[in-house]
């Protein structure tokens, strides 16, 4: 009999239809690799050098208003531009390129430079949720925009350029890779089984319990059975909703609550302001109903065993298959305890 807690095995991700290698016995191995410093020194409430703080001038020369809650602006260094003409290039099916119009924005969560989701007030976080819903609607209504990707890079380790609490929105003409994979899987699942993949998965995890981190009335947080990052989690809406524009008032509060809870758990895990990339996955804004889509968020945090030892996706993982050491069940157990 295989010992699923100890023996090497691989697990299937039904959302991407890809595999992850799980090697729990490797947590025994010694570590002499790179140790990074905790890059989150105490921050002031207002930083005169910060380009996101109220009243300061941004790199592009524009001055921020003296905003008092959330603040949204067009990214001064946007990766996508709305006036890009539609065009396509192809040679023998080998060289293919498409133009990519889009709109990139930055959302400041709070005027206070030294806050994070974990230590913002629930009422203020609710305003962030409202800003996300508004932006999803506004950008999604643009005739060229078919997907609105809301994401946050938290911490210098994840490439965040600034500790001021903020996220980015990249909205594009094309549906991005990860979203397209999940969409195809959810669609195929629905066609084959007449059910929603994530509705079914959420119920299964609630019943099993060992990968559950927590839940409130509207959302649940699990370490997915197929997680790649050591303390990866997925936040899933309990109701079958295709996107954040379907959230009720109570569910918007519920989203703010569950995000504050999981980020607070992360911060307690290694006693550090926990780095991660966070992102919503939801219905493309191409005008179709997309009943197959089930609203969820992914947290991809890199820390592995302390504030200073992180996971990299290199070697075998770049060339073959992603791999994890600590089991998702053990990771969920640790997060639940905090």
Nearer to ligand H2U, 106 or 258 (CB): 106
The residues that touch ligand H2U, with contacts defined as CB under 6 A, are: 51, 58-60, 75-77, 106, 153, 160-162, 168
Nearest to 18 by CA among 140, 179, 182: 182
CB atoms within 10 A of CB 262: 25
Strand extents, DSSP E, the chain: 9-13, 18-22, 71-74, 88-91, 95-98, 102-108, 147-154, 166-172, 212-215, 219-222, 233-237, 276-281, 296-300, 323-324
Report the nearest approach of Zn ion to the CB of residue 162 (Å): 7
Which one, 52 or 244, has the nearer CB to Zn ion?
52
Binding partner of residue 7 among ligand H2U, Zn ion, none, CB under 5 to 8 Å per kind?
A: none
**What are the Cα distances from residue 180, in Å, to 175, 186, 197, 227?**
6, 10, 15, 19
Reply yes or no on whether 166 is catalytic.
Answer: yes
50 binds Zn ion (CB under 5 A): yes
**Partner touching 58 among ligand H2U, Zn ion, none, CB below 5 to 8 Å by kind:** ligand H2U
Q: Which of 113, 260, 265, 283 binds Zn ion (CB under 5 A)?
A: 113
What is the 8-class DSSP label of residue 205?
H
Please report how close the Cβ of residue 146 comes to ligand H2U at its closest, in angstroms: 21
What three-state secondary structure class fits 13? strand
Pick the piece of the chain touching Zn ion (CB under 5 A) from 64-72, 85-93, 113-121, 203-211: 113-121
Contact 148, 169 (CB under 8 A): yes
Quick check: helix, strand or coil at residue 59?
Answer: coil
* Shortest Å distance, C-beta 119 to ligand H2U: 18
Q: How many CA atoms lie within 13 A of 55 on its CB side?
A: 8
Among candidate residues 164, 166, 296, 298, the one labeled active-site is 166
Q: In 3D, which of 179, 48, 169, 163 has the Cα closest to residue 117?
A: 163
**16 vs 75, beta carbon nearer ligand H2U:** 75
Site membership for Zn ion, residue 53 (CB under 5 A): yes
- Which of Zn ion, ligand H2U, none sits in contact with 151, Cβ below 5 to 8 A by type? none
Instruction: Indicate the residue among 164 and 294 with the shorter CB distance to ligand H2U.
Output: 164
Positions touching Zn ion (CB under 5 A) are 47, 50, 52-53, 113, 164
């Amino acid at each position: 009999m295989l010992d699923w807690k100890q023996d090497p095995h691989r697990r299937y991700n039904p959302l991407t239809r890809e595999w992850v290698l799980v090697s729990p016995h490797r947590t025994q191995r010694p570590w002499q690799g790179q140790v990074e410093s905790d890059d989150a020194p105490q921050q002031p409430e207002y930083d005169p050098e910060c380009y996101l703080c109220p009243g300061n001038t941004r790199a592009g020369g524009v001055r921020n208003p003296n905003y008092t809650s959330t603040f949204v602006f067009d990214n001064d260094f946007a990766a996508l531009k709305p006036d890009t003409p539609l065009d396509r290039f192809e040679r023998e099916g080998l060289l293919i390129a498409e133009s990519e119009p889009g709109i990139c924005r930055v959302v400041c969560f709070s005027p206070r430079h030294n806050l994070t989701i974990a230590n913002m007030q629930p009422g203020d976080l609710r305003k962030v949720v409202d800003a996300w819903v508004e932006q999803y609607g506004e950008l999604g209504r643009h005739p060229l925009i078919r997907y609105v990707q809301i994401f946050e890079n938290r911490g210098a380790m994840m490439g965040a350029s600034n500790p001021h609490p903020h996220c980015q929105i990249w909205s594009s003409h094309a549906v991005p890779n990860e979203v397209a994979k999940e969409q195809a899987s959810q669609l195929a699942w629905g066609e084959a089984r007449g059910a929603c993949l994530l509705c079914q998965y959420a119920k299964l995890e609630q019943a099993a319990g060992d990968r559950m981190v927590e839940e409130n009335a509207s959302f649940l947080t699990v370490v997915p059975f197929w997680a790649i990052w050591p303390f990866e989690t997925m936040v899933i809406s309990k109701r079958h909703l295709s996107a954040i524009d379907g959230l009720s008032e109570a569910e918007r509060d519920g989203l703010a609550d569950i995000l504050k809870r999981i980020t607070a758990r992360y911060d307690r895990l290694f006693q550090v302001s926990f780095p991660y990339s966070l992102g919503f996955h939801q219905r493309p804004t191409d005008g179709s109903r997309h009943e197959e889509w089930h609203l969820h968020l992914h947290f991809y945090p890199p820390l592995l065993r302390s504030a200073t030892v992180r996971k990299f996706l290199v070697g075998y993982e770049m060339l073959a298959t992603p791999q994890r050491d600590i089991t998702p069940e053990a990771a969920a157990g640790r997060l639940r305890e905090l």
